[in-house]
Structures are given as structure tokens and as C-alpha cells.
Amino acid sequence: MKQELAANLECDVLVIGAGIAGLTAAIDAAEAGAKVTVLSKGPIASDGAASWMAGWGFQTALYPPDSPEEHARNTIQVGQYLNNQELVLALTNETQRCLHRLARWGLHYRKVGDRYFQVRLPGSTHPRVPRLSREGLANGIEYRRVYPRQLRKLGVRALGNLQAIELLKRNGAVMGVIALDTVNGAFVAIRAKAVVLSTGGFMGMYRFTSTSPTLTGEGHGMAYQAGAQFQDIEFADFYTGCIVWPPFFAGDLDWVTSLRYDLAGVVYNSRGEDVARYKKGSGLALPVIFEKEIRAGRCSPHGGLYLSFKHLPDNLIDHYFSSMGRARWIHALEEIGVDIRRGALEIRPAPLESIGGCRVDARARTNVPGLLAAGEITGGAEGAFTLAGNPMSFYMAMGAIAGRQAAVVAKEVGAIPDDLPDVRPMMEDAVRPLENEGKNGVPVLQVKRELQEILHNYLHLMGKTQTGLDVALQRILSIRDDAEKWQVATKSRRHNNEWMEALEVRHMVTVCEMMARAALARTESRGLHYREDYPAPSNDWLCNLIIERDGDEMKISRAPVSFSFVEPGQR
Ligand SMILES: Cc1cc2nc3c(=O)[nH]c(=O)nc-3n(C[C@H](O)[C@H](O)[C@H](O)COP(=O)(O)OP(=O)(O)OC[C@H]3O[C@@H](n4cnc5c(N)ncnc54)[C@H](O)[C@@H]3O)c2cc1C
């Protein structure tokens, strides 16, 4: 059916994705004088952004003897030297400004005298994480409160319920996007002098995840199609323990984290063995050890490990909850028949954050003219492993850098491109799942389930072997080859979640292919990439894996890391 555009908008800087990276980019670009539009596929600041789920981690070096250089050194050491060192330094130098600005906007932090009170997290040489003054309040909730006001103040046009589906290019440069208005099913084009892509990570692709299921790597797919390079896609962060039982709290990590650390919870397998003791001398990360136990069948009937607090007196547990202002949480558990003073919660590792992504330089520019990227969609900031508490401050800082740089690019470009490329084929592709009918069609939700099964079996913390990954790649390619046949059961264009998922799945396939190819290529185990058949790190692999489009082929190559600031092994 012939498709028409419902609107053709324009701006200087277009920001796609409205989590912490996107909204910060929008604010900084507007402060630099650009006319900015930011869009999100959900309502602005109430969507499925991971940013709104964040706890209290926010690393920033504020006072000597700590310094941005020391913060960078810690990040690179934990990242096992695969980081883009220039980018890391740019970020560690930007985080302080972000923090002071948050305080000006109304976040209340605990202070000791006139200094921020800071906590030290594992992997950091200094206390570096400021805490909000109200105990139990999470940063993500506070960001949601203060950001929209700043957008309004600066006159940023914020468009919710717009799902970006493809980037627009003219003369090799990105110049806008085509998006679906998910409320009325109409297509909208937005032209811009510079585009910042900040659509977050892809860990929502997994069936059991700690993040939002709407974060499925659409930005990665769009950037790949536009010719952007990717790096380190084989590295992804899994949280050590998310609740699998009781089901009411499934996927929750916030409380389980505080509980496990603050109350020193013990994690048992089904034989009653304390699983953490297997970590000693193994060289493996704790989530890998947990996942190994589960995959070996030494788990609960719900597929988890037992997290117990039974070694503690009841009144200590009660006191902990009331001092955190969260007695309600323990009561909620009691209401569904769970008493953590006696029985265990059941937990398992869950996908948390994608580490690899679009390759950017220290100014957040990709290799494609006109296209910048910021946030979890990028690779290079974290290397092979995340320094706890870094993502939030790093992605906010990257958003700020990208916003300012996008304003510079917009000035250089001069005029907003006034004509569009031919968008009709893009719209026709997008509506195909609505129009496909009949026995030969493939239900798109079935495709999604199959991809999730592949991700769980072969592209998880465990499961990466040559044989398994070969199987995974072949299955992904055959799914891709059937894309023309995908169909949705619900044919309405208005509020059609199934159609939105179909548009997500198109990009999921590309991301899964990147993941499988990268995991196959990296024949070693390092940081958060664990190959069962190559369990040790290898010096041959002290390099980044680059993925990019070469015609219809996915090209993979190696790039050396520039050790301009710290050499491997150097303090
Ligand atoms: C439960 C949880 C707790 C965490 N806690 C912490 C913590 O305490 N400290 C820390 O440092 N890190 C934490 N992290 C990690 C951190 O929250 C994320 O890495 C960070 O928020 C990513 O920010 P972002 O702006 O890049 O992406 P997001 O915040 O995920 O935002 C992505 C945006 O893109 C939009 N989008 C996606 N696709 C499209 C599309 N096609 N069209 C339009 N819009 C689109 C989304 O709707 C969203 O607005 C946590 C993560 C989780 C899941």
C-alpha cells in the first residue's frame, strides 16, 4: 500500500533516545545555541530508559588525592586495557561538571562540611560515589524529576511516542530520521544538521533481563545500516543476582543488591554449598560462577540459587529495613508468604548493560559524517569490564560532550537539508508485517522467541563455544533471510505493540549477528566475554574487534588499542 509522511520536521540537532545520555545531549546542545529536538519511543522521562532504573552508582573524582586521571586509570585497569583511553579521560574530566549541575538543579547530596560524602566501590582506589541525602532514594528517580524542567527552560522540542526506524542520509552524511508515531501509526521525518544517537543498550533482547524489554538495540541496527563502525560487541555486563523467585519480584536487582552487600547474604546451590567460595583462584567473575552452577543443574526448581540471610538475628534484619526506610519491602514479601529471616530468595545472573557498541572518538563522533553517539549505545568507554558505578556518570558526561559537539557540527553544516531522500521504501518495509497474511507468513513474536532462545543458549555469560556459536550464527542468518515473511496478528496501526516489536526485531537480528560473529572471532576469555573452549586471556587479543557493513556483508577486523595514557600492567 502507498505510504505517506504525516509530518516533515526540522531542527539543528536531533537527539534520538531520551535516557540520561540523550537528555543531557539535548540540554548541552541547546545551551550551545542549537535548535534541538529530542525523541523517544515512549513518553519522555517515563519510558523504558535504563536511566530511570539506576541505583546510586555515579563515579566522579572530586578531591585530591583522587583525580580524573586516577579515575581513568582505575577504569582502564578494570576494563583490561581495551578501552579508548582518550575517551575515558575526556569522560572522567567531564563528570564533575555533571554532578555540580545536578546539585544546582535540585538533587540533594549528603555532605561532610562543605565536601560531598563519597563511597568507594570495588575496583576504585578512592571513595568516588556521592550519595543522595535521603537514604533509599535512587538516582534514576531523581533524574526523571529534574531533567524535564531543564528541557522546558531551554525550549527543547521533546517528542514522546516516536519510534525511530531508520536514519536518513544525503551525500554520505546522516541528515535525519524517519520515525513511527506509535499512537496513531503515522510516519514522521525529521531533518537535522547533526544527529546524536542515544538509544541505549541491547540487554532488553534477553528473555530474563534486569533492564527494560524495550531496549533492544534499535539504534545499533540503524547505525549499522548507515555505515557506522562497532567495537567490543562481545562484551556485555550481567548482574550477579536478580530475583527469579518469588515471581512478583522477578527481575528486581535493586533491593537484592543492597541486601546481598549490606547484610552479607550467602548464596547456596541446591547441594547447600556456598557458591562464592568457587571464585577463589578461578579467575572467573562471580556472575559466571553463578551461571555455571545453574547450567550444571545445581539450582532451585525455579532455576536460581538460594540467597539466604538466616545467619543473622531477626531483629538485625528488621532494624536494617526500618533504618533504610523500607520496612514496606519486607512486609510486601511477607504478604506473599516469604520471610527472608527464615527462607531464601532465589536469584540468578541477569543481563544488565551492553559494553560494546558504536565506535566513537573522544568527541563522541562516529565514522559517519553528521552522526554522533552517546551512552550505552557506544563502545570504548568501558573496555572488557565495567568499573562499578561508571555507566551513569560516563553516559551523562558523554551526552554533554556529544551535545556540545553536535552544536559545533550543526554550525559547520550551515543550512538544514531541505529535501528528503526517497523515504517511501523505508515506510513500505516498516508496514510489511501489517500487510503480510496467510500460511506462508512467520509470526514475528515467534521470531523474537527464537532469537531469545539463541541468546540464552549461546550468547549469555556461559554457552559460548565454537560449535554453539556456529549453530547460533546459522540460525540467526536463516531468521534474517525470512524477514520479508514476518507478520503481526494485530493489524491496527494505532497503539500496536506487536508492530512496534516487529520493528525492534528487525534490528535485533543485526545485533545478534554482530554478537555471534564477534564472540566467534575472539578466541579467548577476558572480562565479560567467556569462551568455554578458550577459558584464559591471550595477549594476541589485546585489541578491539571492529564490525561494520560492507555492502550486504558484515565485515569483522581487528584494531590496535592506543595505550596513550596507561600501558598494560602499568600503574
Ligand atoms: C536496573 C538497573 C540499574 C542500574 N543502576 C546503575 C547505577 O546505579 N549506576 C550506574 O552507573 N549504572 C547503572 N545502570 C546502568 C545505566 O542505568 C545505563 O547504562 C544507562 O542509564 C544508559 O543510559 P542511556 O541514556 O545510554 O540509555 P537509556 O537510559 O536506556 O535510554 C535509551 C533511550 O532510547 C530510547 N529508544 C530506544 N530505541 C528507540 C527508538 N527506536 N526510537 C526512539 N527512542 C528509542 C529509549 O526509549 C530511551 O529513552 C543500571 C542499569 C539497570 C538496568
How many Å apart are CA 413 and CA 175, to the nearest integer?
10
Count up the domains in the chain and report the number: 3
Residue with the smallest CA separation from ligand 1 atom 27 is 200
Instruction: Identify whether 418 is part of a domain.
Output: no
| Residues 304 and 360 reside in one and the same domain | no
Instruction: Identify whether 477 is part of a domain.
Output: yes
What is the atom index within ligand 1 of the atom nearest the CA of 22?
A: 25
Q: Give the domain CATH number at 278.
A: 3.90.700.10
Q: Which residues, at least 6 apart from 437, have a Cβ–Cβ distance to it below 8 Å? A: 487
Within 88-235, strands assigned E span 111-112, 115-116, 118-119, 129-130, 157-159, 162-170, 173-181, 186-197, 230-231
Instruction: Identify whether 101 is part of a domain.
Output: yes
Instruction: Identify whether 526 is part of a domain.
Output: yes
CB 16 near ligand 1, within 6 Å: yes
Cα angle at 503 between 159 and 410, to 5 degrees? Answer: 45
Q: Is 531 helix (H, G, I), strand (E, B) or coil?
A: strand
The two counts, helices (H) then strands (E), for the chain are 15, 22
Residue with the smallest CA separation from ligand 1 atom 15 is 391
How many Å apart are CA 359 and CA 380, to the nearest integer?
7
Pocket test for ligand 1, best of 15, 20, 121 (most atoms within 8 A of CB): 20
Q: In the chain, which stretches have pLDDT less than 70? A: 1, 254, 571
Query: What is the model's pLDDT at position 188?
Result: 97
How many Å apart are CA 132 and CA 123, to the nearest integer?
22
Residue 337 burial (C-beta neighbours within 10 Å; 0-12, 13-18, 19+): exposed
Instruction: Identify whether 478 is part of a domain.
Output: yes
Instruction: Identify whether 554 is part of a domain.
Output: no
- One-letter amino acid at 414 equals G
Instruction: Identify whether 552 is part of a domain.
Output: no
CB 505 near ligand 1, within 6 Å: no
Residue with the smallest CA separation from ligand 1 atom 14 is 54
Q: Using the mean position of ligand 1's atoms as its centre, give its distance from the Cα of residue 200 in Å.
A: 5
| Residues 185 and 312 reside in one and the same domain | no
| Helix%, strand%, coil% for the chain, nearest 5 | 40, 20, 40
CB 240 near ligand 1, within 6 Å: no
Query: What is the model's pLDDT at position 270?
Result: 96
Q: 11 - beta bridge partners?
A: 192
Write out the residue range of the structural domain in which residue 461 sits: 424-534
Q: 554 - beta bridge partners?
A: 549
| Residues 16 and 147 reside in one and the same domain | yes
Work out the number of other CB atoms within 10 angstroms of the CB of residue 273: 13
pTM of the complete model beyond 0.75: yes
Q: Using the mean position of ligand 1's atoms as its centre, give its distance from the Cα of residue 344 in Å.
A: 30
What is the atom index within ligand 1 of the atom nearest the CA of 55?
A: 8
Distances (CA, A) of 62 to 75, 92, 244: 16, 10, 38
Q: Using the mean position of ligand 1's atoms as its centre, give its distance from the Cα of residue 159 in Å.
A: 18
Residue with the smallest CA separation from ligand 1 atom 3 is 54
Q: Using the mean position of ligand 1's atoms as its centre, give its distance from the Cα of residue 205 in Å.
A: 13
How many Å apart are CA 274 and CA 1, to the nearest integer?
61
Q: Using the mean position of ligand 1's atoms as its centre, give its distance from the Cα of residue 435 in Å.
A: 33
Q: Is the separation of the CB atoms in 238 and 352 below 8 Å?
A: yes
| Residues 55 and 86 reside in one and the same domain | yes
| Residues 26 and 58 reside in one and the same domain | yes
Residue with the smallest CA separation from ligand 1 atom 26 is 375
| Residues 483 and 464 reside in one and the same domain | yes
How many Å apart are CA 444 and CA 463, to the nearest integer?
25
Q: Give the per-residue SS3 of 64-119.
A: CCCCHHHHHHHHHHHCCCCCCHHHHHHHHCCHHHHHHHHHHHCCCECEECCEECEE
Phi-psi region of 161 (alpha: psi -120 to 50; beta: other; left: phi over 0): left
Q: Is the separation of the CB atoms in 529 and 545 below 8 Å?
A: no
Closest CA to 173 of 375, 408, 413: 413
Q: Using the mean position of ligand 1's atoms as its centre, give its distance from the Cα of residue 413 in Å.
A: 30
Pocket test for ligand 1, best of 23, 28, 40 (most atoms within 8 A of CB): 40
| Residues 70 and 94 reside in one and the same domain | yes
Task: Kindly report whether the peptide bond that precedes residue 65 is cis, defined as omega within 30 degrees of 0.
Answer: yes
Q: Which residues, at least 6 apart from 144, have a Cβ–Cβ distance to it below 8 Å? A: 45, 46, 52
| Residues 274 and 220 reside in one and the same domain | no
Sign of the alpha-carbon torsion through 353, 356, 360, 363:
positive
- One-letter amino acid at 485 equals K
| Residues 319 and 407 reside in one and the same domain | no
Q: Give the domain CATH number at 364.
A: 3.50.50.60
pLDDT 10s digits, 51-60: 999 988 999 9
| Residues 278 and 320 reside in one and the same domain | yes
Q: Using the mean position of ligand 1's atoms as its centre, give its distance from the Cα of residue 45 in Å.
A: 11
Q: Is 558 helix (H, G, I), strand (E, B) or coil?
A: strand
